[in-house]
Structure 1
Amino acid sequence: MSSKSRDDDEHFEGQSALKEDLNRKIKEQKVVVDELSNLKKNRKVYIQQRNSNIFFLADRSQTLNSSKKELDYMKKDLQDL
């Protein structure tokens, strides 16, 4: 097997792993969006501080909008691969 062929195989496997990981994250984000969409208006929503176990009270509609935007970015990234 030539060096170029081996590099192509490694690139393909790496890209395939990236796609699988991104697909998993997209599925998770869809669940988040669905859960936020189905909450009653008066329910409290908390968001987790990055790299921490601390949660802060957040606005439900703002959290839903940012989750939808993040889902759109993920879908766009998947199409770009």
Structure 2
Amino acid sequence: MSSKNIQRTEPGASEERAQKEELNQKIKEQKIVVDELSNLKKNRRVYTQQPNSNIFFLADKGETLSSCKQDLDNMRKEYQDI
């Protein structure tokens, strides 16, 4: 007799796993954004993109960095809740 390792998954488990992987990817991207912003020289300009558009506006570096850090923290909390 051959034994087969059959994995039984609950309904929605694969969806949850895919959601978790996608969120993990977004967290990695956000970490890079925070690192890049925190390593910019003092006199460098930062631009933010308007939602659903290709228009960029000059933004304050400190405000942008703090909002990116806050987004990263929110993503990490959401990831832990999953």
TM over 0.5: yes
Identity of aligned residues (%): 61
Q: Measure the CA separation in 2 of the matches of 1:62 and 1:13.
A: 38
Query: RMSD over aligned Cα, in angstroms?
Result: 1.2
Identify the residue that residue 33 of structure 1 maps to in structure 2.
34
Please tell me whether Structure 1 or Structure 2 has the larger radius of gyration of its CA atoms: 2
Can you list the C-alpha shifts for 1:19-64, whole angstroms capped at 9, x where unaligned? 0000000000000000000001110000000000000000000000
Moved over 2 A (4+): none
Aligned pairs, how many?
Answer: 75
Q: TM-score, normalized by length of structure 2?
A: 0.88
Alignment of 1:2-81 (within 5 A): 8=10, 10-81=11-82
Which ranges in structure 2 are unaligned for 5 or more consecutive residues? Answer: 1-7
Which ranges in structure 1 are unaligned for 5 or more consecutive residues? Answer: none
